[in-house]
Structure 1
Amino acid sequence: MADQVRGTASAAEAQVRASAAAVGSLRQDVAAGRLRLDPVAGQEIQHMLAEQVDQVQNWLKRATDLGRRAPLGRNPVGQAVAAKLADHGTGDGDSFTGVLQQYRQVLEDTREAVEDAMRRSRADDERAEEEFRRIGQQL
């Protein structure tokens, strides 16, 4: 059972890492000017991301119970198993809460990338508007 939990957590951690890499590519595209985002669409995306971050925060609050040691007795084997199970729930890395914390960071990074894309889009629109005004004044 513990190996199955560890395997599932490792798979989830790998998915989160892949998402983080995708967000890194997104940020590069935004920085290079290859991606612009309409402010209205960006606000919708930011709203969805904020809802997901709130949900992850709720999961993390509820996950504190996973870190409690199961009452498996005072013998060395029971204590070792209880500690191992608690670590699967709330330890670092590929524990349940560790993966959730990594996922929350990916969501925050995505939100920042969306914000940057929206800011770039507004700046580009303002430059184009100013250029049209300048051309109009010359005519």
Structure 2
Amino acid sequence: MTSAEAGGFAAAKEGLKAIGAQTQSINQQVSAGKLALDPQVAEDAAKRVEEERDALTNLLRKAQSLSTVKGLGDYPDGQQLAKRFEDKATDSQSGAVQLIRELQDELQKQADAFRAAARDYRATDERNADDLRRGM
């Protein structure tokens, strides 16, 4: 069992991988010239993805607060429970804080991919316009 599974975040880790695969697919299609989005559509998509990224900031704060759980007492059981909360929040490989940050990074990459598709659309449009002006 991986530390992500041990932390109870296996589904979140899989979701992050799926979003990463989507981003990679968008980038590959743009690079291959197979995806060119209308600039306004691409910008709207990028903004929507960035809104989702920004919404994660509140969740990030909540996850960070798990690392400072108070009031569980000075008994060993209370200290162990507080430590488990801290580990689930801050584990560098699979903690909630790390996963949220990775998701925010991936969403930004996806927004950037949408904008790259818009740039490709504009470049293609400009090339076509230039060709028409030259009589090709």
**Matching residue of 1:48:** 48
- Mapping for residues 112-131 of structure 1, pairs under 5 Å: 112-131=112-131
Task: Provide the residue aligned with 1:6 in structure 2.
Answer: 7
TM-align CA RMSD: 2.0
SS at match of 2:64: helix
1:92 corresponds in structure 2 to 92
Equivalence for 2:69 = 69
Alpha-carbon distance in structure 2 between the residues aligned to 1:127 and 1:48: 29
Aligned to 2:16: 16
Corresponding residue SS for 2:44? helix
Q: Deviations over 1:56-111 (max 9, x none)?
A: 12221333211113433323343222111211123323322222111111101101
1:14 match: secondary structure: helix
Taking only the aligned residue pairs, the percentage that are identical comes to 30
Shift of 1:126: 0.2
For structure 1, the residue ranges without an aligned partner over 5 or more in a row are: none
SS at match of 1:135: coil
Q: Deviations over 1:23-44 (max 9, x none)?
A: 1121111111111111010111
Deviation at 1:6, TM superposition (A): 2.9
Aligned to 1:36: 36
Q: Confirm whether residue 105 of structure 1 aligns to residue 130 of structure 2.
A: no
Distance 1:28 1:127 in 2: 21
Paired residues of 1:29 and 1:35 also in contact (CA < 8 A): yes
Asked if the contact 1:5–1:88 (Cα under 8 Å) also holds between the matched residues in 2, the reply is no
AA of the residue aligned to 1:42? A
CA distance in 1, matches of 2:70, 2:90: 13
- Return the TM-score normalized by structure 1: 0.84
Which one has the bigger helix percentage?
1
* Structure 2 unmatched runs, 5+: none
* Cα distance in 2 between the residues matched to 1:40 and 1:19: 22
- Residue in 1 that maps onto 2:133: 133
Match of residue 79 from structure 1: 79
Q: CA deviation at 1:49?
A: 1.4
Q: TM-score, normalised by structure 2?
A: 0.85
Q: Is the 8 A contact 2:46 2:112 kept in 1?
A: no
